[in-house]
Amino acid sequence: MKNLLWGSFYLALAGSIWGGMFITVRVAVTVIPPVPLVWLRYLTAALALYTLGIFRRVSWRIERRDWKLLFLVGLIGQTLSIVTQETGTMFKLEGQLIQRNPDFHMESRLLLDKIDYDSSCVVLGNQRYELENAYFPTIDTENPYELTEEEENIIHDLKSFFLESEQLKRHTAFLYKKGSMYTCFNENLLFHGCVPMNSDGSFAEITFSGRTYKGRAYMDFTDAYARRAFSYREQSALDFMWFLWCGRLSPLSGREFKTFERMMLEDERTWKEPSDPYFKLVEDEEICEMVLAEFGLDPKRGHIINGHVPVKVKKGESPVKAHGKAIVIDGGFCRAYHNKTGISGYTLISNSRGLRLLEHQAVADVRLALKENKDIESVSETVELQACHTTVGDTDEGLSIQEEVTDLYNLLLAYQNGILKPDD
């Protein structure tokens, strides 16, 4: 009975690790190319097996004549198979999603049908590029975006792992309850990425299902549509969540992901990811004031506070834009960005005297520093200093309290003047 319980436990553990691998790979390949990722997986597995072998006193003796065979089996039967399966399945699913949602305007990401599988080249625009690896055993050249039966089964199992997770459901419910696409707080406009704009500084007009939106109306639309995905699980709304993550017209992304090019092409000129004009226009004070006015905020007192784009401090970039009208506080708290930014991120502090920005210096391990409550060295910079203290009455909460006081006062006057009479 004991062996049966342990066996069931290890079987469930293996299934969880195997199932979680696919979503991990989907995220990891945006940072680590497929081939290095595969070798990293094998290195981790080899170390684990070696450690287990030491404890179990397993003999690792392999005949010299078998080394070549083992290498070929690992290279062809496992490494190439995993690399191509991971990349192929990902691009197939993305292709299907793009094809059924023309409003996303992401046709430039449909590349599996642009590959010449005989010559190992892909056509981007009018230019042909040689692929670093063109071995795609699961792709049908006649229907490149169609999943095989095995891939369908994998995706079905993977979806079930997520849909049946109670903890994930609680986390997602909390996110939808507390979060939003943007928020206005004490004359500050907070959002993650951008408000889509045209190069001339006007708000971009974006059409979905025959209706056109721009500026604040577009942000409200994206918020409402994202909530439909959670509440009703409509396929179009679920697709929209993927668009929000990586769509060129998405206010959370604002750039065109070049995952295929970074994974498959050596020419780094193809890796450049076009971004929304907002990210350059935010340097203009007049543009910032226009955005603040669009959201009903005071253009002279308000600030735009957003993240999404790590500030490359070591290259001289500043998080404060447009004479203090816009503040980018995504300095790259994640360790993976430290080499790119040169720091460990920012903290924006708002108090009764104004705004202060803390620039956290790079540390070896941010997670460990937070866990052990170690000090992280920071450099303080005053962004805005007010001539007088802000009181509670000057804040959004204060205004709400004042409205309640006014309502109670008017109610009292109504009773005193006989307009309203207490119930007998």
Q: Read off the pLDDT of residues 294-348 as tens digits, 9 standing for 90 and up.
A: 999 999 999 999 988 777 766 777 889 999 999 988 756 666 666 767 777 788 8
Query: Is the pLDDT score of 78 beyond 60?
Result: no
Calculate mean pLDDT across residues 76-99. 72
Predicted TM-score (pTM) of the model is 0.76
Phi/psi of residue 305, nearest 5 degrees: -125, 115
| pLDDT over 80 (residue 19) | no
Asked if 283 and 194 count as a contact pair (C-beta separation under 8 A), the reply is no
d(CA 147, CA 138): 8
Q: Which helix (H) or strand (E) holds 414?
A: helix 396-416
Q: What would the mean pLDDT of 33-54 be, rounded to a whole number?
A: 72
User: What element of type H or E holds 400?
Assistant: helix 396-416
Q: Does residue 80 register a pLDDT over 60?
A: no
Judged against a pLDDT cut of 70, whether residue 83 lies above it is answered with no
How many CB atoms are located within 10 Å of the residue 217 CB?
15
CA 414 vs CA 72, 176, 239, 401, 419: distances in Å: 90, 41, 54, 20, 5
Give percent above pLDDT 70 in the chain. 77
Residue 397 pLDDT greater than 60, yes or no? yes
Which of the four pLDDT bands, split at 50, 70 and 90, describes residue 45?
Answer: confident
Looking at residue 424, its pLDDT comes to 46
pLDDT digits (tens, 9 = 90+) for 196-235: 999 999 999 999 999 999 999 999 999 999 999 999 999 9
Q: Are strands 303-306 and 188-191 parallel, antiparallel or unpaired?
A: parallel
DSSP symbols for 35-96: HHHHHHHHHHHHHHHHHHHHHHT------HHHHHHHHHIIIIIIIHHHHHHHHHHHHHHHHH
Q: How confident is the model at residue 3 (pLDDT cuts 50, 70, 90)?
A: low
The continuous run of DSSP H or E covering 213 comes out as strand 211-213
Residue 42 has pLDDT above 80, yes or no: no
Classified as helix, coil or strand, 207 is: strand
pLDDT at 121 over 90: yes
Mean pLDDT of 68-80: 55
DSSP for 338-373 reads HHHHSEEEEEEEEETTEEEEEEEEP-S-HHHHHHTT
Cα dist from 264 to 125, 147, 261, 365, whole Å: 16, 20, 5, 32
pLDDT at 299: 95
pLDDT band at 50, cuts 50/70/90?
confident
Contact present, 344 and 362 (Cβ < 8 Å): yes
Q: How confident is the model over 128-137, as a mean pLDDT?
A: 82
- CA 209 – CA 239 distance, rounded (Å): 14
pLDDT confidence of residue 387: 77
Q: Which residue has the higher pLDDT, 177 or 1?
A: 177
Give exposure, 363-383, as e/b (b: 16+ Cβ within 10 Å).
Answer: beebeeeeeeeeeeebeeeeb
Angle, vertex CA 279, rays to CA 278 and CA 281, nearest 5:
55
Which pLDDT belongs to residue 160?
Answer: 83
Taking 80 as the threshold, does the pLDDT of residue 273 lie above it?
yes
Average pLDDT for 384-388: 80
Of 140 and 84, more confident: 140
286: pLDDT strictly greater than 90: yes
The C-alpha atoms of residue 165 and residue 229 are separated, in whole angstroms, by 17
Return the higher-pLDDT residue of 304 and 161: 304
* 135 phi-psi bin (left φ>0, alpha ψ -120 to 50, beta other): beta
What does the pLDDT average to over 390-416? 90
Query: For the chain, what is the mean pLDDT?
Result: 84
Which DSSP letter does residue 392 get? Answer: G
User: Which stretch of DSSP H or E encloses residue 23?
Assistant: helix 2-28
Q: How far apart are CA 120 and CA 132, in angstroms?
A: 8
| Eight-state DSSP code of residue 326 | E
Contact 250, 243 (CB under 8 A): yes
Confidence category of residue 278, pLDDT binned at 50, 70, 90: very high
Which carries the bigger pLDDT value, residue 53 or residue 38?
53
Report percent pLDDT > 90 for the chain: 46
Residue predicted with more confidence, 111 or 151: 111
**Lowest-pLDDT range, 253-257, 373-377, 389-393, 417-421?**
373-377
Contact predicate 344/331, CB 8 Å? yes
Q: Which of 10-24, 89-103, 365-379 has the lowest mean pLDDT?
A: 10-24
